[in-house]
Amino acid sequence: MTDIAPRADLGSHEVINQPLPREGGDLWAADIVLREAAQAAGARTGALERAGRVYGSPEILEAAHDARRDPPRLKLFSRSGHRLDEVAFHPGYHTCMAAGIDLGYASAAWDGQPGGHATHAALCYMQYQVEPGVACPLTMTYAAVPALRADPALAETWIPKLTSPVYDPSVRPVSEKAGATMGMAMTEKQGGSDVRANTTRAERDGDGYILNGHKWFCSAPMSDGFLTLAYAKGGLSCFVVPRWLGDGQRNGIRIQRLKDKMGDRANASSEIEYWDARAFRLGEEGQGVRTIIEMVHHTRLDTAMAPAGLMRAALAEAHWWVSHRSAFQRRLIDQPLMRAVLADLALDWEASVAAGFLVARAFDRADDEGRALARIAVALNKYLSNKRCIDVVAEAMEVLGGMGYVEETPMPMLYRQAPLNSIWEGSGNVICLDILRTLNRDPAAVAALDSVLDGARGRDARFDAALGAHRDRWRGIPPEAEARWFTESLATLLSAAALIGTAPHAVVDGYMISRVAGERGSVPGAISGLDTAAILGRIG
């Protein structure tokens, strides 16, 4: 039995020229750009074929909508007045979490099979098209694994639970759970990214520590544990803070409030306080930043991949709309100006995907050069892809006209989400300064990046000229005030090199015309010379 179509004849008028809502579908099979880039990076296509069907299914799309419509609620106390410090979620949130865990979002990179990070990157890309808020706890769970390896005992306790295919949201100690999630609590009110300004203190207590202090941002406060920073006797140190203690007691983690955020509505970002919270040191005292940076480094892979997913979702929606709506006696998709706008936006999406999987492939490499490339390339791609994402989503929303501003479409959600990953794990200025420090202090990263850029030379004269101009302009590390200009230029060249290695001629040529040679205006669609038919044919 098929669904009965809604009524079109309303008496006063007939509903025509209104595209029916775009309904999910297979996020892998329908996306040739994802398939090409993921396969080139060595991702596991069988797992991704399954994920594409699951993420695009009506059940997951409905669960994602419900998780955003009915956001998390803070439950500080029980009916009898006992302190709970819990967050209640709509069942849709748990459905999305269970799907992500089952598909391998948190575990694929760590199961020992080839292409783990590339597979993870593709799962992140698809997750962000469906429900971005759920991606936060999934990303932190994935990224905690390499940091936990700093302590064999903690790794033995936590890693099998974090990489379990079972989602277990029950309120129980980690030893009693079928699977676990891990969050992060680093920043405080007075310092933000300057974590050395933190004031949370850690006092030795037997085989562990007792923490007291506050954290201004603690995402996913119902996680089973948190990597956090606090000052011990030996300096700023990293700790694992379990949510629930092994003796069945609640740890001293008090939720102060949930953040009323612009986007990421399904995720319960919070402010917390530690009140004699039990914790276990991870790494050496005084080496907290060096220890937790392993987690930060891997979350940056996701913050670099997420904008590609958001751009894909927005462009697919816009392309569907213009393919089914007419104006001035022509379908919108057939109008040259509309084609120029969409094709121009698609180039940023294509570049973000190509660079994202270049980075993921570097994460998968076991050699020193691969690790060095991952350190610098992930920061470059995070910066550029997120800056481009905001414009792409805004312009795609405008393509739908007034409907794009209506919450019944996904465009407002995507628009609210677009700036987030530019802020999370290092805002623009922080990332640019990190890039300057890496290039100044890490010769291996410089050599690895130069190898990628020089490897693309000789295949397009515009790329060669732009690379030469960049190196002539900045013969060393630029002054701090030029860090954004330098980063944009270098990240654009890296994206171009990634496209040269994987994308078809129409995409490479369009990117060279517009981004590398700069033959365009300052807003999307202010361009000519694109093969719009070939570029648009890759959207939907």
- Output b/e per residue, 3-37; b: 16+ Cβ within 10 A: eeeeeeeeeeeeeeeeeeebebbebbebbebbbbb
Phi, psi at 255, each rounded to 5° = -80, 125
Q: What is the pTM of this model?
A: 0.96
Domains, the chain, in order of start with CATH, read 32-176 (1.10.540), 182-287 (2.40.110.20), 290-536 (1.20.140.10)
Distance CA 84, CA 90 (A): 18
Phi, psi at 426, each rounded to 5° = 110, 105
The answer to whether 182 and 138 have CB atoms below 8 angstroms apart is: no
Phi, psi at 427, each rounded to 5° = -70, 175
Pick the closest to residue 416 from 133, 32, 220, 205 (CA basis): 133
Helices (runs of H) and strands (runs of E) counted in the chain: 18, 11
The dihedral sign for the CA sequence 215, 221, 223, 224:
positive
Pick the closest to residue 297 from 445, 443, 163, 100 (CA basis): 445
Pick the closest to residue 281 from 245, 237, 249, 328 (CA basis): 237
The answer to whether 117 and 44 have CB atoms below 8 angstroms apart is: no
Q: Name the one residue in this structure whose structure tokens are 């009915």.
A: 70
Q: Name the one residue in this structure whose structure tokens are 């064999």.
A: 152
pLDDT in tens, the chain (540 residues): 457 888 888 889 988 888 888 887 999 999 999 999 999 999 999 999 999 999 999 999 999 999 999 999 999 999 999 999 999 999 999 999 999 999 999 999 999 999 999 999 999 999 999 999 999 999 999 999 999 999 999 999 999 999 999 999 999 999 999 999 999 998 999 888 888 889 999 999 999 999 999 999 998 999 999 999 999 999 999 999 999 998 889 999 999 999 999 999 999 999 999 999 999 999 999 999 999 999 999 999 999 999 999 999 999 999 999 999 988 889 999 999 999 999 999 999 999 999 999 999 999 998 999 999 999 999 999 999 999 999 999 999 999 999 999 999 999 999 999 999 999 888 999 999 999 999 999 999 999 999 999 999 999 999 999 999 999 999 989 999 999 999 999 999 999 999 998 999 999 999 999 999 999 999 999 999 999 999 999 998
Q: At 185, is the secondary structure helix, strand, or coil?
A: strand
What pLDDT sits at residue 1? 42
Q: Name the one residue in this structure whose structure tokens are 């654009």.
A: 492
The dihedral sign for the CA sequence 284, 286, 287, 292:
positive
Pick the closest to residue 540 from 338, 343, 341 (CA basis): 343
Bridge pairing between strands 83-88 and 73-77? antiparallel
* One-letter amino acid of 93: Y
Angle among Cα 178, 182, 185 to the nearest 5 degrees reads: 155
Alpha-carbon Rg for the chain, nearest whole angstrom, is 24
Pick the closest to residue 524 from 310, 305, 348 (CA basis): 348
Q: Which two tokens stand for residue 436?
A: 């300057």
Distance CA 532, CA 523 (A): 17
What pLDDT sits at residue 2? 56
